[in-house]
Amino acid sequence: MPVPNYDQYCQMLDKAQAGDYAFPAINVTSTSTANAAIKAFADLKCDGIIQVSTGGGKFASGQGIGDMALGAISLAQHVHLVAEKYNVYIALHTDHCHPQYVDSFMMPLIEETEKRRAAGLPNLFNSHMFDGSELPLEENIKISKQLLERCAKNQIILEVETGVVGGEEDGVNNEALPADKLYTSPEEMVAMAKELRPIGKFMYAATFGNVHGVYKPGNVKLTPAILKNGQDAVIGQLGEEARHWLVFHGGSGSELGEIHETLGYGVVKMNVDTDTQYAYTRPVVEHMFKNYDQVLKVEGEVGSKKFYDPRAWMKVAENAMTERVAQSIRDLKAEGKSLLQ
């Protein structure tokens, strides 16, 4: 099936919230990683979300170009083509666009969708994330409103964030932040609802101790009740219809019980990146060690093409990543929940 349209995407998110499950949103950097993620969604009969970060887009455009928007467009076009061959919806999203990259990353992608719509074509991306969490709340809201106005006109959902996700990802390091910066307040959640809901649909990455990167289970100190308290405050002031579509960032190292708790508080999307990076790379290392004398031309030998052909080790990498995405689908209780099943 094609990438979902606006109404189908909204239905995906509404159904997830009502059913207490969430979609893994898989960061990809190549057609290979995109293919691995799409296959997992199809295998488990789950609609899914594929997303591209600024760094992922820059890499995908090639080292000779380094254009984050161009790379994101290229990956999105690939997903549009491949998704047609599967019987699940694959939505497209961009991840963590910080304020300094709005003009060079998000705006060119919105403009690309505007061109497509003018030509009678579907949107390129279903949603974009503006990460204004580093800004004072008033400035974050101001820019978020401006972007949402542009997005809403084009049936694009905006994702916003208050509070900061700790750790390091994609070249942004928040490891030295004080602990209080890692938690979104109920007042912030109410303010976002009041200011943005009249403009259009949005998702909300509210933070509750989330940390990007690699951590052993139990090392990340999450406080999921923050999400409940914030949702209760929003509903108390604005009504049940104002309940946020919440997004869980920095899930690596989180306890499964805590992940499941957040689903009951309105989390509909959970970003997955670090774990799939490792899953993709680990079997490649094994392939190279196991076939050392076949992948290298050592001491005058010629090796074996069938072992150093990139397709040989990329296949095992893709298969391992597919298995890890499937695990995330099961962890988030989304298996068999496609709108098309």
Catalytic residue numbers? 95
Nearest in space to 36 (alpha carbons), one of 250, 315, 282, 286: 315
Task: List the Cα angle 333/337/341 in 5-degree steps.
Answer: 155
d(CA 197, CA 242): 8
H runs (alpha helix) in 31-166 = 31-43, 54-60, 68-83, 107-118, 137-153
Let me know: does 100 contact 54? Beta carbons within 8 Å. no
d(CA 36, CA 212): 22
For residue 99, which amino acid is it?
A: P
d(CA 276, CA 10): 26
For residue 141, which amino acid is it?
A: I
d(CA 283, CA 38): 19
- The helix/strand count (H/E) of the chain reads as 13, 11
For residue 212, which amino acid is it?
A: H
d(CA 63, CA 206): 34
Element (H, E) at 203: strand 202-206
- Fill in the DSSP letter of residue 337: -
